Amino acid sequence: MAKQKRTKQQKQARGKNTSRQSLRIRPAKFTPPPPKEKGKLDYKPGKYCVRDLSLAKEGRKLIEWAESHMPVLMELRERYRKTKPLQGYTIAGCLHVTKETAVLVRTFVAAGAKVAWSGCNPLSTNDAVAAALAAESIPIFAWHGNHKDFYWCIERTLDFHPNLTLDDGADLINTLHEHYPQYAAEAVIGGTEETTTGIKRLRARADAGELLFPVIAVNDAETKWDFDNVYGTGQSTIDGILRATSVMLAGKNFVVAGFGHCGRGVAIRARGMGANVIVTEVKATAALKALLEGFRVLPMDEAAKIGDIFCTATGVNNVIRKRHFQSMKDGAIVCNTGHYDVEINLVELKQLTKSKRQIRPNCEEYRLKNGKKIYVLAEGRLVNLAAAEGHPSEVMDMSFANQFMSQIRLVELDKQGKRLPPEVIPIPPEQDEFIAQTKLQTMGVRIDKLTRDQQRYIHDYLAGT
């Protein structure tokens, strides 16, 4: 969303003592406009808008499969099912509609919350899962290929007057801040953010003094960032590339742009499949880590000439652009696993292109004026969610346990009449420890404990040689 000048209303938003009733985003009898999408949609105003409700049975089976692989979240569901701590609270969520997300949604509902949901990416919604949630009377506004009605869907979740937000990329929070600042400041007690790019946007907003409610940085939890982004993105990105192309990775020059959490995961999994992995970076320490892990490090200008497959994982725009496309080999495959479709400059690629055609699902061939062909996967959107199913349930188990516990924390504080400051708030280390311990238990893995003597030793500043 484009950066806009603060409105007068937004500047005045903080500190106004207005009742929640008068802050209603829209009157109760408001009839929403229809979606712009032309193809088949099952739309019931105020209830759901999904691609095809008849897919619900298929979706339920997918959700059950995910539930059987998410033991930590299921344990939390059982724990809070009886006490229903979220009763009386409404969560608006804007996050990829996958089978794992449905497990999270069901867990919120079991804990007493009302939930309304939209997808956070045009290509990541699983239509069967969306149908299953709609059939369970969860207000959901999401379908695969939602390019035109993305913000319309977010708006429909706001019709339910949420007091909590859950984001993956900060689009919901941005919508609230830019269009409903008074509501954001007065009616929303807090939110949570799932991904690195969203956290960056929110920190920028907080630094500018413009964040109107606290947002817990789920992404930055150790049990999220060091697992979901690394092993989840690593496996599912390779899965997406293979489903979209079926090429052999062994022996290929596989260029990974960015050696942060996601990039490292992709690099180690691509190497595991026998690819020659080349890393590009802008940060010296990250480049050094890649080098000492045994990867070749090159600037993109040089990597572009020798790469067979390119995958961006930076969260930054224009990482692969005109001059890189011009020097690529014939048949190069280009994809992205960063949050937004900005890392590969498709506008510049189109300027170099003579013709374009769909070769297979999620794989488009660009015939360049220089005679070479370049293949772009999943329209440059995150390939693991668009061309595959996103991360495995086992790793989302920890990410979503963090989401669930963070929403509970916001509500418990609210019940005590307390509120966190309007900042990006870290996850408490005890939460990470609890989730990791529970995950290990469910995996049947035991670990040692520090002895009393060892605890004394590590806190003894006089202990020496």
- Does residue number 261 form part of the binding site for ligand NAD (CB under 6 A)? yes
Closest approach of Cβ 198 to ligand NAD, in Å? Answer: 7
**Which one among 119, 139, 315, 422 touches ligand NAD, defined by CB under 6 A?**
315
Closest approach of Cβ 205 to ligand NAD, in Å? Answer: 16
- Does residue number 182 form part of the binding site for ligand NAD (CB under 6 A)? no
**Which one among 67, 149, 167, 281 touches ligand NAD, defined by CB under 6 A?**
281
Stretch that binds ligand NAD, among 49-57, 242-250, 261-269, 441-449 (CB under 6 A): 261-269
Buried (b) or exposed (e) across 54-66, using 16+ Cβ within 10 A? ebbeebbebbeeb
Closest approach of Cβ 337 to ligand NAD, in Å? Answer: 4
Measured from the CB atom, is 90 or 235 closer to ligand NAD?
A: 235
- Does residue number 120 form part of the binding site for ligand NAD (CB under 6 A)? no
Distance CA 355, CA 377 (A): 16
- Does residue number 51 form part of the binding site for ligand NAD (CB under 6 A)? no
**Letter for the amino acid at 164?**
L
**Which one among 123, 153, 202, 257 touches ligand NAD, defined by CB under 6 A?**
257
- Does residue number 260 form part of the binding site for ligand NAD (CB under 6 A)? yes
Distance CA 356, CA 365 (A): 6
Nearest residue by C-beta to ligand NAD? 260
Q: In sequence order, which residues have a C-beta less than 8 Å from that of residue 448 and are 6 or more positions away? A: none
Closest approach of Cβ 171 to ligand NAD, in Å? Answer: 12
x/- binding map, residues 384-423, to ligand NAD, per CB under 6 A? xx--------------------------------------
- Does residue number 263 form part of the binding site for ligand NAD (CB under 6 A)? yes
- Residue 457 burial by CB count (10 A; 0-12/13-18/19+): exposed, middle or buried? exposed
Stretch that binds ligand NAD, among 80-88, 279-287, 356-364, 395-403 (CB under 6 A): 279-287
Stretch that binds ligand NAD, among 84-92, 207-215, 255-263, 347-355 (CB under 6 A): 255-263
- Does residue number 316 form part of the binding site for ligand NAD (CB under 6 A)? yes
Closest approach of Cβ 241 to ligand NAD, in Å? Answer: 12
**Which one among 196, 223, 362, 407 touches ligand NAD, defined by CB under 6 A?**
196
Give the CA dihedral 81, 79, 168, 269, nearest 10 degrees.
-130
**Letter for the amino acid at 372?**
K
Distance CA 316, CA 380 (A): 13
Buried (b) or exposed (e) across 314-328, using 16+ Cβ within 10 A? bbbeebbbeebbebb
Q: Strand pairing partners for 329?
A: none
**Which one among 233, 327, 393, 431 touches ligand NAD, defined by CB under 6 A?**
233
Which 3 state secondary structure label does DSSP give 84? coil
Closest approach of Cβ 391 to ligand NAD, in Å? Answer: 6
Query: Edge-to-edge strand order for the sheet containing 90-94?
Result: 42-44, 48-50, 140-141, 114-118, 90-94, 164-167, 190-193, 215-217, 424-425
Closest approach of Cβ 140 to ligand NAD, in Å? Answer: 20
Measured from the CB atom, is 24 or 200 closer to ligand NAD?
A: 200
Measured from the CB atom, is 128 or 257 closer to ligand NAD?
A: 257
Stretch that binds ligand NAD, among 71-79, 336-344, 345-353, 360-368 (CB under 6 A): 336-344
Closest approach of Cβ 458 to ligand NAD, in Å? Answer: 29
**Which CB contacts under 8 angstroms, 24+ apart, belong to 427-434?**
427/216, 427/217, 427/218, 427/220, 427/221, 427/224, 427/402, 429/222, 431/221, 431/223, 431/402, 431/405, 431/406, 432/221, 432/222, 432/223, 434/405
- Cα distances (angstroms) measured from residue 117 to each of 78, 120, 154, 427, 464: 22, 10, 8, 23, 56
# binding residues, ligand NAD (CB under 6 A): 28
Distance CA 179, CA 7 (A): 9
Distance CA 116, CA 48 (A): 9
Rounded to 5°, angle at Cα 57 from 54 and 59: 95
- Does residue number 229 form part of the binding site for ligand NAD (CB under 6 A)? yes
Closest approach of Cβ 388 to ligand NAD, in Å? Answer: 10
- Does residue number 380 form part of the binding site for ligand NAD (CB under 6 A)? no
- Does residue number 214 form part of the binding site for ligand NAD (CB under 6 A)? no
On whether the CB atoms of residues 382 and 196 are closer than 8 A, the answer is no
Tokens coding 275:
């690819």
Measured from the CB atom, is 189 or 215 closer to ligand NAD?
A: 215
- Does residue number 101 form part of the binding site for ligand NAD (CB under 6 A)? no
- Does residue number 262 form part of the binding site for ligand NAD (CB under 6 A)? yes
**Pick from 261, 157, 165, 160: which is nearest to 216 by CA?**
165
> Which residues contribute to the site for ligand NAD (CB under 6 A)?
195-197, 229, 233, 257-263, 280-283, 286, 313-316, 319, 337-339, 382, 384-385
